[in-house]
Amino acid sequence: MAKVELEKICKVFDNHVLAVDDVNIDIHDKEFIVLVGPSGCGKSTTLRMVAGLEEITSGEIRIDGKVVNDVAPKDRDIAMVFQNYALYPHMTVFENMAFGLKLRKYPKPEIEQRVRDAAEILSIENLLDRKPKQLSGGQRQRVAVGRAIVRKPKVFLFDEPLSNLDAKLRVQMRTEISKLHARLETTMIYVTHDQVEAMTMGDRIVVMKDGKVQQIDSPMNLYDKPVNKFVAGFIGSPAMNFINGKIVADNGLCFRTEQLKLHIADKQASTLSAYVDKPVVMGIRPEDLSEYQLVDAPKQGCDAHCKVDVVEPMGNEIFVYLASGSDNLVARMSVQARPEVRGNYHIYFNMDKSHFFDTATEAVIE
Ligand code: ATP
């Protein structure tokens, strides 16, 4: 159990790549925090600096208040699970799990007990005599987690631990790691590029881009209140729709493009009044486009005529890809909706749920 603080962390590699740029994160005791972002955003480097596997160029990392910048990885009381599991091929599962404890000269009976306890938690008691090559990907992954658990570390670090598993197993292991977190009550820092993994597992999520933290928040806040266009587009699948247009005053405030004229909800009007006649980007999530008008929506000005490009059936819902003039939109709809491909389709915007971003800075306006 530990809190982990990253203060003004920067990492510049020898090739002058600024991989991590002024990162500040306060990770609470027992928290499950997920670092997420596209490839190359600096999440693995950040994790590796916490582990002590990568030197910090500037800034301070503290574990339970103690600065660990110059503390060797083995003395940081953390355990890391890697993407490739890094199991020793010539050792059995038992030996793999016991290895770290042996190095630290734990007494044999304690090693035995800890390995058996961890094996029970992970349901791999029957695999202890096997070698890694005799295991499936999912089983290897459990052994890698087991090797971390036996150490009873203050902090667990996970670097994309599920990316080598097939989709179904990934979903299963995701819940298992969440359950493990609830059971062990240990601080966990988890790196992934998969926003669904981040949303489903994290108490809080750190969204990174180009070495910088974009937003640190709970999953629902990230989804409902993204601070900029990048976060809004990164979290959620299918991604949020973005439409370039401008704000105009016309019987109240409207968002205008060549094709669309949408009435802005009252609650957003006062902030957006500063943007009259200025370009903005409107964001709206696929589920906030509907074939029905909302009961309390204004009579006019929240709808559009579109052409249906593609309909993707998902079983319990459909994704409808639409074109309104030069704007492309995706709507998430119930299976009862029956849009005809290449046909005309009338959709309603739930303007209460729309987001507006500054065209230049991409920061959220409202
Ligand atoms: P991925 O999801 O692809 O693993 P990431 O978000 O974890 O990406 P990092 O691996 O942290 O990203 O890399 C961040 C940046 O630092 C990238 O531009 C990468 O090319 C660079 N980088 C990483 N390791 C090194 C290194 N050892 N030497 C030089 N540059 C590096």
SS3 249: strand
Backbone angles phi, psi at 345, to 5 degrees: -150, 140
**Predicted pLDDT at 129:** 95
Nearest atom of ligand 1 to the alpha carbon of 42: 11
Q: For the residues 162-181, what does the mean pLDDT come to? A: 87
Ligand 1 site, residue 163, Cβ cutoff 6 A: no
pTM: 0.92
Q: Taking 70 as the threshold, does the pLDDT of residue 297 lie above it? A: no
Q: Taking 90 as the threshold, does the pLDDT of residue 85 lie above it? A: no
Report which listed range, 31-40, 119-128, 329-338, is most confident.
31-40
Residue nearest to atom 7 of ligand 1 (CA): 44
Find the largest Cα–Cα distance for the chain.
80
Beta strand ranges found along the chain (DSSP E): 4-12, 18-27, 32-36, 58-63, 66-67, 78-81, 155-159, 187-192, 204-209, 212-217, 241-249, 253-256, 261-263, 279-284, 289-290, 303-313, 318-324, 327-333, 344-349, 355-358
Ligand 1 site, residue 40, Cβ cutoff 6 A: yes
190-237 pLDDT tens trace:
999 999 999 999 999 999 999 999 999 999 999 999 999 999 999 999
* Alpha carbons 53 and 45: distance in angstroms, whole number: 9
Ligand 1 site, residue 11, Cβ cutoff 6 A: no
Q: Taking 70 as the threshold, does the pLDDT of residue 44 lie above it? A: yes
Q: Which residue type occupies 112?
A: E
Residue nearest to atom 5 of ligand 1 (CA): 40
**Predicted pLDDT at 27:** 97
Residue nearest to atom 3 of ligand 1 (CA): 39
317-352 pLDDT tens trace:
999 999 988 899 999 999 888 888 888 888 999 999
Between the CA of 43 and the centroid of ligand 1 the distance, in Å, is 8
SS3 354: coil
Higher pLDDT, 177 or 25: 25
**Predicted pLDDT at 138:** 86
SS3 102: helix
How confident is the prediction for the chain on average, in pLDDT?
92
Ligand 1 site, residue 13, Cβ cutoff 6 A: yes
Residue nearest to atom 16 of ligand 1 (CA): 19
Residue nearest to atom 21 of ligand 1 (CA): 19
**Predicted pLDDT at 295:** 58
* Alpha carbons 276 and 113: distance in angstroms, whole number: 69
Residue nearest to atom 11 of ligand 1 (CA): 42
Ligand 1 site, residue 44, Cβ cutoff 6 A: yes
With both helix axes pointing from N to C terminus, report the angle between 137-149 and 108-121 in degrees, rounded to the nearest 10: 130
261-281 pLDDT tens trace:
999 988 888 899 999 999 999
Between the CA of 163 and the centroid of ligand 1 the distance, in Å, is 17
